[in-house]
Amino acid sequence: MTVTYRQPGVVLTDHRFTVPLDHADPGGETIELYAREAVASDKADRDLPWLLYLQGGPGFWANRFVGKEAWLGRALEDYRVLLLDQRGTGHSTPAGRQTLPLRGGPAEQAAYLGHFRADSIVRDCELIRRRLTGGAPWTVLGQSFGGFCTVTYLSLAPEGLDTALITGGLPALDAHADDVYRAAYPRMERKVTAHYARYPQDVERARRIAEHLLTHDVVLPGGHRLTAEAFQSLGIMLGTGDGSHRLHHLLEHAFVPTPHAPELSDAFQEQVRSLLSYASHPLYALVHEAIYGQGDRPTAWAAQRVRAEFPQFDAARTLAGDAPLLFTGETVHPWTFDCDPALRPLRETAELLAARTGWPALYDPVRLAANEVPVVAAVYHDDLYVDTAHSLRTARAIRGLRTWVTDEYEHDGLRAGAPRVLDRLLAMARDEV
């Protein structure tokens, strides 16, 4: 059943699709996918080409725009847009603390989640495409992890693509998770150094908060344990255009006086809880390192192991001297599952995923080298989340791919740049620039 409704300047239609959990077993168990179609009001009756949007993540559902916000207005000039809630997210069959026990114990849950990577998402898209377009290829816009999925699409089913547009999402084709994080920690340090150069007053503020957390057991509203390591993970904010400013505003009013001693304010604690909680996107934590899994080598909590190679990120060691506290970025650790009540019941499941071997390949270098689909990619210079060197090496491995390397935007350039980023990519794909 489809439902159609309107927002300013846009006609929206809700779609639901039934797809196999395991595409290798098309007659087996199924799950449901949700997607929202958007078309400009004055073009609703026209036969327009389709653009599929693949959200970043993993584990986030598609943007919930109001009207023609951000890049959507530009896309609606030329396309009928499909905003897909990738499997396990949003209105698609959910996967989290409340629903995964329906699968059974941790072993069954981990086996189930093995079907929630880019290869399954691409095969979902192909089933949807054939139902919506009558078999015509469509344009795909992949943001961040959505870009990873787009490269998998080019590897598995390029015949389904008319054009591929990628923003901040060219993955390393053969890097192990260790390689990903070994490249990431120096970028994190550079981002933190730049933040302190902008806001030098935050050096003492961050040290004071970390010292408090090392000497006090702090439990946030809702049961989230705030440790020094969890506080450091707020550095994930530094990968967006306004993230440094938002982090500064968060730190500047962390403490309030009380009859006994200064304490972390309720307002600070509530903001931190909302920033650190995985309740709305548990898949992000569960399969975050699994998206890099290929072959027989387990990911084995790569971010945690590699962090030990960079002792400057150790909070206790930092506070024993006078160095600035370093924040971290897009990393998931074993303690993440101990701190967050939305993840605690899934700790054993996460351990099994970290130990898993035999991951299927996600990319086909031979097919990518023979690519015939027009592909363009925005590569953000010194992107916190995706290594620029890895991205450019992959760009050279995909035949015909054109890059736009820019330091005008951070990782969220597609959103922050409104129509400008998408407009540039479309012009490049059409050989207009």
Angle between the 202-215 and 177-198 helix axes, to the nearest 10 degrees?
120
Choose the catalytic residue: 383, 387, 391, 412. Answer: 383
Cα(351)–Cα(301) distance, integer angstroms:
8
119 labelled catalytic: no
Cβ count near 163 (within 10 Å):
19
Choose the catalytic residue: 85, 92, 115, 144. Answer: 144
Q: How far apart are the first and last CA of the chain?
A: 42
Cα(74)–Cα(51) distance, integer angstroms:
12
Alpha carbon 42 to its chain centroid, in Å, reads 33
Cα(140)–Cα(431) distance, integer angstroms:
17
411 labelled catalytic: yes
Just list the catalytic residues: 144, 383, 411
